Structure 1
Amino acid sequence: MTASLHQTYEPPQDARALVLNWIRRARESQIRHYTMADRLTASGRKLGLAVIGITTATGTSAFLSLVATAISPQLRIVIGLTSIGAAVLASLQTFLRYSERAELHRRAGAQYGAVRRRLEAIHAADPYLHDMRDIEGVRDELDQIAQNAPHLPRGIVARG
C-alpha cells in the first residue's frame, strides 16, 4: 500500500476507466471493512473469554475462601487482585465495543459490495450506452458510504 501512495495519480480518461477504477476501490474498501470486522470480532471474543475465565476463577476462589477458614493472607491478596483484574477486563469489554464496531464495519462492507455490483453491471453494459446520470448516482452513493463508514486504520490490508 505504501508504494501506491508514492505513485503519481492519473485520473481516468473516460467513463469506462472511471467505472473500472471505482470497482477496484469499492472492492478494496469492501474487503478492508470485512477484514476489520473479523479482527474486531476475534478481539472481542478473546477479551470475552478472558473475562469469563478470570471471573470464574475469582468466583471459585472467593467461594473457597469462605468455605476454608485457613486461607493465607497471600491467597486473599491474589483473589482480590484477580477480582480487580476481572472488573477491569469487563470494563474494557464494554468500553471497546468490539461487537458494535464490528457490525458497523460489516455494514460498510456490505454497502461497498452493493455499489461494486452496480458498478460491475454498468461496466458490463454497452460502453456506448453509459448514462452519466447512473455514474453520478453511484458517485453520490460512494460519497455517502465514505462519510458514514467507520474509520479504517492504515494497517488494514485487503485480503483476497
Structure 2
Amino acid sequence: MRRARESQMSRYAMANPFGRRNRGRGVSVIAMTSLIGTTAFLSMIATGVSPLVRIVIGLVSVLASVMASLHTFLRYAERTEQHRAAGARYGAIRRRLEAIYARTPDTRAAQDFVEIREELDRLAQEVPNVPTAVFIKTQRDLSANERIGSE
C-alpha cells in the first residue's frame, strides 16, 4: 500500500510542473507571435524603420518559432495527463489494497494479491517514469505527514 501511495503521489507531483510549463510556454508563444505579427505589420506601414528594430523583430520571430517548436516537441499537456491518469490508477490500486486489508485475515484471498501485483506490473510498464528526486521528495513528504498525523 505504501508503494502504491508513493507512486500515486509522485505521479501527481510530476503532473503539476508539466501543467505549469505547458501553460507558461503556451502563453509565451501566443504573446511573442502576436507581438511579431503586429510589429511586422507596423514595420511594413512605417517608413524609415531603423535596422536595430528590424534585428529585434527578426530575433523575436526566431525565438517565437523555437518556443512554438519546443512547446509541440516537449508535449507537456500530454505528459501532464499521462501522470495524472497514472496517479489515479495507482490510487485505485491503493484503495483496493485498503479494502482487502480492512477484511479479516481469514477472508483475504491470495488471488486478490496476485491480481493487484499483476496490475501494478502492467502499470509500471505503461506509465512514464518519475525522476528519482521527485520520488524521494514524495517519500519524505509522506513520511513527514505520517509523523505529524501520529502525534
User: After TM superposition, is the score higher than 0.5?
Assistant: yes
Confirm or deny that 1:112 pairs with 2:98. no
Tell me the residue number matched to 1:150. Answer: 128
Aligned residues: 138
Q: C-alpha separation between the residues in 2 aligned to 1:123 and 1:149? A: 26
Tell me the residue number matched to 2:42. Answer: 64
The residue correspondences of 1:43-122 to structure 2 (distance < 5 A) are 43-122=21-100
Give the letter for the 1:105 counterpart.
H
Give the letter for the 2:14 counterpart.
M
- Provide structure 1 residue ranges, at least 5 long, that are not aligned to the other structure: 1-22
TM norm structure 1: 0.83
Q: C-alpha separation between the residues in 1 aligned to 2:133 and 2:41? A: 45
The residue correspondences of 1:128-147 to structure 2 (distance < 5 A) are 128-147=106-125
Q: C-alpha separation between the residues in 1 aligned to 2:32 and 2:133? A: 31
Give 1:70 shift: 1.6
Structure (1 or 2) with the greater helix fraction: 2
Describe the superposition over 1:121-149 as per-residue Cα deviations: whole angstroms up to 9, x where unpaired: 00100012221011111111111111111
Q: C-alpha separation between the residues in 2 aligned to 1:94 and 1:147? A: 25
Confirm or deny that 1:24 pairs with 2:2. yes
Q: C-alpha separation between the residues in 2 aligned to 1:155 and 1:51? A: 29
Give 1:99 shift: 0.4
* Identical positions, percent: 51
- Provide structure 2 residue ranges, at least 5 long, that are not aligned to the other structure: 143-151
Extract structure 1 runs of 4+ deviating beyond 4 A: none
Give 1:60 shift: 1.4
Describe the superposition over 1:65-124 as per-residue Cα deviations: whole angstroms up to 9, x where unpaired: 011112101101110111000000000000000001111111111110110000000010
Q: C-alpha separation between the residues in 2 aligned to 1:139 and 1:84? A: 50
